[in-house]
Chains A and B, each alone.
Chain A
Amino acid sequence: MVFLDIYLLEALINGVLLGGVLALLSLGLNLVFGVIDVVWVCYAELIMLGMYGMYFLYTVYHVPIVLAAVVCIVGVAILGVMLHVVVIAPLLGAAPINQFLATGGVLFFLQSAATVLFGIEFRNLGLRLPVLKVSEMFISYSRLLAFATALIGMVLVYLFLTRTYAGAAIRAIAQDRQIMILMGVDSRRIYLITSALGGGLAGLAACLLVLQYDVHPFVGLSFGPITFLICVLGGLGNFVGGFVAAFVFAELISLGGLYLDLEWGYVFAFVFFIVMMFVRPEGLLARRS
């Protein structure tokens, strides 16, 4: 039988909490893909800029942290809109792979802009949330906070998509791009709203990540690829699938890290992804058609 020792339990719980962070990360990307049908390769770099925003506002200019978070979310939302207007909009009719590569160029640009502007030092908020100790297990508050926020964010996005006019229009346009224009929906406006929402979610993720991780110009590379893989694994544009995939990935990484090295955790997660692509190319929760 399985011997459930305390380390295994701790790894499992931390995996669930990491899953919350990953789910939040994939939420914005999923939304943008589902609606605009474009993969923002530079999504993690938007988060990186949000983390720098938090760092400068809170640590350097001593803005209260909640206000800093709001400014950050709005700022990254504006970046999302700019990304759409400057790069995506001219390429909407082009081959999907071109949009992929162009946002890859934005990734290079943002990464090196951050290097030039902020240098390559690791920076952190200098703020350490306490660690919760439950009978020999250590669980960090920042992870709990991220987990809770991810759940709330999911619910809010769900309510927005199902209960508002703009949300209904977004869902409709994701189903059929041509007809909705005939129905009098301004697709450009919907795309802008979606980009702002995607950017805002990236900003929210940035506010939570900066509580746990140091920020440096290449931080995006450490969780960007994982975020894409989670979105694809869940079925691009499928929110619930993305959520499930995030937790599966997080548990693989966490348990792999417990028994071997953290790197092996990632190897397991990547291999699992490749195998699942062959078994269920439409995503974990897809119905077979």
Chain B
Amino acid sequence: MTRYLPWIAGAGLIGLPFVYHAPYPLHILVIILIWSFAYTSWSIMGRFGLVSLGHGGFMGVGAYVTALLWNHAGLTPWVGIPLALLAGGVLAVLVAYPCFRFRIIGHYFALVTLALSGVVLQVITATRDQTGGSLGYTPERYRGGSSLYALQFTGKTTWYLIALGVWAAGLYVWHRVDRSMMRYALEAISEDEDATAAAGVHVTAEKLKITVLSAVMTALAGALYCQYQMFISPDTVSGISVSLQMIFAVVVGGVYVSLGPAVGAVITILLAEVLRISFGTRAVGWDNLVYGVLLVLFIVFLPKGILGSVLDLGRSRGLASPPGVGAPAA
């Protein structure tokens, strides 16, 4: 039965918009799926103790490169998005390669990537003549609205299916990594770099591969967000607060389970929406207040996240916990 569960759930998710298509819930679902994909991208490297605060930067690059190429060069997103992904990947190599080469790890790595977030945010703000600065930026509408060429659709159902597909692809990548040799190499690296290197693993190359993969996926999430919302601003797709938001959602959902980031996205986005609907403008700040308290409580009491802890209860005890967020210090 459990073997078929993912397929049944998948079929249900695909069928959903044809049965039920009220615009608002569908919009929330699309947002949840896009962010779930972004959070999954973060957790692909985050689960190996590579805590990056720079993913807001990669997301911003994905969104802004796509939109700028469309508006200024007239390049269709079908070309623009691959170029944006390339830009995200190159940026990741530029920052991560020296980091890994010079063995900048732990919270030093987190702080270097924090600086990267800052650089992307400030560059977007400083080039306000091209990017609109902190006021945000809108890709131009292509003729009447929906167009496959411009990757712009007015129907929510189309976007739902696209986001679902991308998210599923993200999960597939997560599982591929989970079953690869790379996973064992990276887990060993996060325990002890020297010992792993002595065992014949190319430490820098392994870390670089996973980082570039994660960065490219995050850039894709940014491009997708831009195409769906048709409005991006430095605060919503880049910068330090976006990076922190990713980490927060992943920690709440669970870093070590494939659906953890999705659970985190559902919880955080629903929480924000419920507070917004029930309290209106008076709710400004309350969602983050609850997030903050939850984040502290989770780190102290449930470092494996909600889904991770629930799965652990179901499973037999005594499994060795992976290193990093959930593990005790060496």
Contact = CB atoms under 8 A, between A and B. Distances in A.
Contacts of A120: 284
B126 A112 contact: no
Interface string A245-287: 0000000000000001101101100110110011001000000
Identify whether the interface residues of A are mostly helix, strand, loop, or mixed: helix
B174 interface: no
Contacts of A107: 244, 292
B92 to A, nearest CB: 13
A251 B214 CA distance: 35
Contacts of B125: 263
Contacts of B300: 87, 90-91, 102
Interface stretch (A48-56, A69-77, A142-150, A221-229): A221-229
A34 to B, nearest CB: 14
B111 to A, nearest CB: 5
Identify whether the interface residues of B are mostly helix, strand, loop, or mixed.
helix
B181 interface: no
A274 B284 contact: no
Interface residues of A, number: 46
B102 interface: yes
Nearest to A100: B107
B95 interface: yes
Contact of A105 (B51, B111, B292): B292
Interface string A204-224: 000000000000010001000
B299 interface: yes
B161 to A, nearest CB: 33
B329 interface: yes
Interface string A92-133: 011111101110111111111111100010000000000000
A232 interface: yes
A196 interface: no
B86 interface: no
B320 to A, nearest CB: 15
Contacts of B295: 101-102, 104-105, 108
Contact of B98 (A96, A115, A266, A278): A278
Interface of B: 49, 51, 95, 98-99, 101-104, 106-108, 110-112, 114-116, 118-119, 122-123, 125-126, 240-241, 244, 247-248, 251, 284-289, 291-296, 298-300, 303, 324-325, 327-329
Given A104-B247, A105-B292, 17 more contacts: A39-B107, A91-B299, A95-B327, A98-B325, A100-B51, A109-B296, A111-B288, A111-B292, A225-B115, A270-B116, A270-B118, A270-B119, A273-B112, A273-B115, A277-B99, A278-B99, A281-B102
